[in-house]
Amino acid sequence: MLMTVMTVAIGITQAHADDFTQCSQSFYGGIYPEFTNTKLSNKTQELCMDGFAVMYSGVSRTPLWSAEHLDRTRLQQAKQIDREDSFHEESKLPESARASLTDYSGSGYDRGHLAPNANMATRSQQYDSFSLANIAPQSPRNNRYIWRNIESATRYLTQQYGEVYTITGVAFTNTKTKQLANRVLVPSHFFKAVYIPATNQAGVYYAPNDESERIDVISIDELTAETGIDVLPMLDIQTKREALDLPLKAGEASEGSDTSAQEPDWMLFVWAILEWLLAQLKA
């Protein structure tokens, strides 16, 4: 009888879950992040969204991470699509595990995208990016300034090197975690891991979820120690150990990077101007 009850319970929580083999193109080498802290895997669900993949937590009612594979063609297509806000609950998730729009109402936190709308190449991808399964409570200044800059910088790196893999996620490192509406947990930090296949280099943007506008660049190994997640398990030991000096804004150079695969300087300058103009139009 106990086994039957357990089987039914598992069936309920996984009834709408996807299988990451359906969206393996979002991950470098087709291998998705691994939990080194197995407690984080409690009540998680794999979600294959259009254009990205999400590991969702029914405990925090937020994504733990969202994964994307970016290339120049995708970003060129994304520039043709105007932003249409369509925040919505995720129907793939059981109602008991979902965040709701009312959870965020009057909270003082922004609904922060992990996989950003500006990376989405089709209306379907854009719609999925506004799912609350891809959203976490984010400090307004962090979301609107720091995070906006590093999203632009990541697109800039994609233009330089042709493609990048990114894993954007959240961390809960405080001894006491805030909640929205006694339901949605507020992350202590946001991170964005960036891997450049052309140079076999990786680094991580790591920022406290507050109004300080502070951001650090750390290694994949350091991120694993902080979060309990190995976001890029296919990378070699040396690449995980060394942090690429990631740019904090579009147009800044990454020190120590191999620039042989970069576009001519004048093209990068034009790209930076276009990014700025688009940001002004969407503001």
Q: Which residues are catalytic?
A: 113
Q: What angle do CA 262, 267, 269 make, to 5 degrees?
A: 105
Cα angle 221, 257, 164 (rounded to 5 degrees) comes to 65
**How far apart (Å, rounded) are the C-alpha atoms in residues 242 and 137?**
30
- SS3 string of 160-216? HHCEEEEEEEEECCCCCCCEECCCEECCCEEEEEEEECCCCEEEEEEEECCCCCCCE
Neighbours of 13 (CB within 10 A): 16
DSSP 33: -
CA 38 vs. chain centroid, Å, equals 20
d(Cα 207, Cα 214) in Å, to the nearest integer? 6
With beta carbons less than 8 A apart as the criterion, state whether 191 and 202 touch.
no
Detail the DSSP E strand segments found in 214-256.
216-218, 229-230
**Residue 104 CB: number of other CB atoms within 10 A?**
19
The answer to whether 143 is annotated as binding is yes
**CA 120 vs CA 77, 124, 129, 271: distances in Å:** 8, 8, 8, 17
Residues annotated as binding site for Mg(2+)? 143
